[in-house]
C-alpha cells in the first residue's frame, strides 16, 4: 500500500518537526499496511528557489532514510507545489515525484473563478508535454469554492488525489469523493499527514469507507494506480 501525500520528512515544512516525530508517523503508517510513502513537502516559489528546496529536502530525506529502511518502508521524494503562473519559468522536473513525469500541485484556497480556471488550464497546457500534474486533495477546495469549479479545474490533462482523512464518517465531502472514484476521476489516495496528533496518517478510515460504500476493489485500484504512477507509467494503458 502507498500513501501518496505526506509531510513526513522532518523539519522542512509545517509537517513533522523532527526525526522522532517522523518515526512515530512511520509506525502509524506501517500499522495501516503502508510500505511506500510519497513525501510531498510544501513548495512555495514565492519563498524559496527550487534548488534550495531540493537541497533541504535531500537533507531531510537522508536524515529519515535509515529509520524508514529499518522499518521496511520506501520513501519517494516529491513536493506539494503551490500553484503560481511563474512556475512556468522553472525546471519543474526537479519538483516531480521520484524520477517520474508526475508533479503534485496545490491550488489557492479561495473561490476558483472562471478567469483563474482559464489561466490554470493554459499553464497545464504549456507544461503538459513534459509534466503530468496531480491535483492535491481535490475535495479540500470545496470548503472555498463550488463543486462545479472543482470539476472545471479537473477538466484537463491531470490526475487527481484525495485525502484519506476526508473519508471520516459524516464528512460533507464523501459523496463528491465517492463519485469521483466511481467515475475514475480520482486516481490516488494520500493521508496528507502532518504530525501524530491533529493530522496523523490514517489510511484505514478511507479503506473502510470506500470498501463499505463502493467496494474493496475500488480501494485496491487506487493503491494500484500509485504503483503505476511511481513506475512513470500511465494509468489505464
State yes or no: residue 13 binds Fe ion (CB under 5 A): no
Minimal CA–CA distance to 165: which of 205, 109, 135, 137? Answer: 205
Alpha carbons within 13 A on the beta-carbon side of 131: 23
8 or 230: CB nearest Fe ion: 8
43 or 123: CB nearest Fe ion: 43
For 202, which DSSP code? -
Q: Tell me the β-bridge partners of 163.
A: 190
Tell me if residue 65 falls in helix, strand or coil.
helix
Binding mask 186-205 for Fe ion (x = CB under 5 A): ------x-------------
Binding mask 57-96 for Fe ion (x = CB under 5 A): -----------------------x----------------
Binding-site residue total for Fe ion (CB under 5 A)? Answer: 2
Q: How far is the CB of 40 from Fe ion (least distance, A)?
A: 6
Question: At a CB cut-off of 8 Å and minimum separation 6, what does 19 contact?
Answer: 10, 63, 64, 67
State yes or no: residue 3 binds Fe ion (CB under 5 A): no
And the C-alpha cell for 229? 504512477
39 or 92: CB nearest Fe ion: 39
Please report, as ranges, the residues that interact with Fe ion according to CB under 5 A: 80, 192
Amino acid at each position: 500500500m502507498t500513501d501518496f501525500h505526506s509531510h513526513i520528512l522532518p523539519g522542512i515544512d509545517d509537517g513533522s518537526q523532527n526525526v522522532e516525530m517522523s518515526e512515530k508517523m512511520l509506525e502509524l503508517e506501517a500499522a495501516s499496511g503502508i510500505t511506500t510513502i510519497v513525501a510531498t513537502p510544501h513548495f512555495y516559489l514565492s519563498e524559496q528557489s527550487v534548488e534550495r528546496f531540493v537541497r533541504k529536502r535531500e537533507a531531510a530525506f537522508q536524515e529519515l532514510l535509515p529509520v524508514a529502511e529499518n522499518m521496511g518502508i520506501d520513501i519517494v521524494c516529491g513536493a506539494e507545489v503551490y500553484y503560481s503562473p511563474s512556475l512556468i519559468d522553472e525546471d519543474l522536473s526537479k519538483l516531480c515525484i521520484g524520477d517520474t513525469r508526475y508533479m503534485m500541485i496545490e491550488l489557492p484556497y479561495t473561490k476558483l473563478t472562471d478567469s483563474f480556471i482559464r489561466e490554470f488550464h493554459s499553464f497545464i497546457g504549456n507544461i503538459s508535454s513534459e509534466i503530468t500534474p496531480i491535483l492535491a486533495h481535490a475535495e479540500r477546495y470545496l470548503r472555498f469554492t463550488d463543486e462545479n469549479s472543482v470539476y472545471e479545474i479537473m477538466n484537463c490533462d491531470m490526475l487527481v488525489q484525495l485525502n484519506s482523512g476526508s473519508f471520516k464518517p459524516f464528512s460533507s465531502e464523501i459523496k463528491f469523493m465517492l463519485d469521483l472514484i466511481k467515475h475514475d476521476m480520482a486516481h490516488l489516495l494520500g493521508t496528507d499527514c502532518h504530525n501524530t496528533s491533529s493530522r496523523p496518517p490514517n489510511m484505514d478510515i478511507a479503506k473502510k469507507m470506500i470498501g463499505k460504500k463502493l467496494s474493496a476493489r475500488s480501494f485496491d485500484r487506487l493503491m494500484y494506480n500509485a504503483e503505476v504512477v511511481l513506475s512513470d507509467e500511465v494509468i489505464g494503458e
